Amino acid sequence: QMKKQCDQKLLIRMKTECVPCSLNLDTQCPAGYSKITNGTGIPDCRYYLEIKTHTLSFPGCRHRCVKEFEQPECCQGHWGPDCMGK
User: Residues 46-58: pLDDT tens digits?
Assistant: 999 999 999 999 9
Residues, the chain, total?
Answer: 86
pLDDT of 56: 96
Q: Is residue 84 part of a domain?
A: no
Q: Name the DSSP letter for residue 76.
A: T
72 phi and psi angles, rounded to 5 deg: -65, 130
3-41 b/e (C-beta count within 10 Å ≥ 16 → b):
ebeeeeeeeeeeebebbebeebeebebeeebeeebeebb
State the pTM of this model: 0.73
Q: Is residue 1 part of a domain?
A: no
Domain range enclosing 64 = 8-71
Are 30 and 9 a contacting pair, CB within 8 Å?
no
What is the count of structural domains for the chain?
Answer: 1
81: pLDDT confidence band, cut at 50, 70 and 90?
confident
Q: Is residue 61 part of a domain?
A: yes
Percent of the chain with pLDDT strictly greater than 90: 78
pLDDT of 2: 66
Q: Is residue 38 part of a domain?
A: yes
Q: Is residue 80 part of a domain?
A: no
- pLDDT, tens only, 5-22: 999 999 999 999 999 999
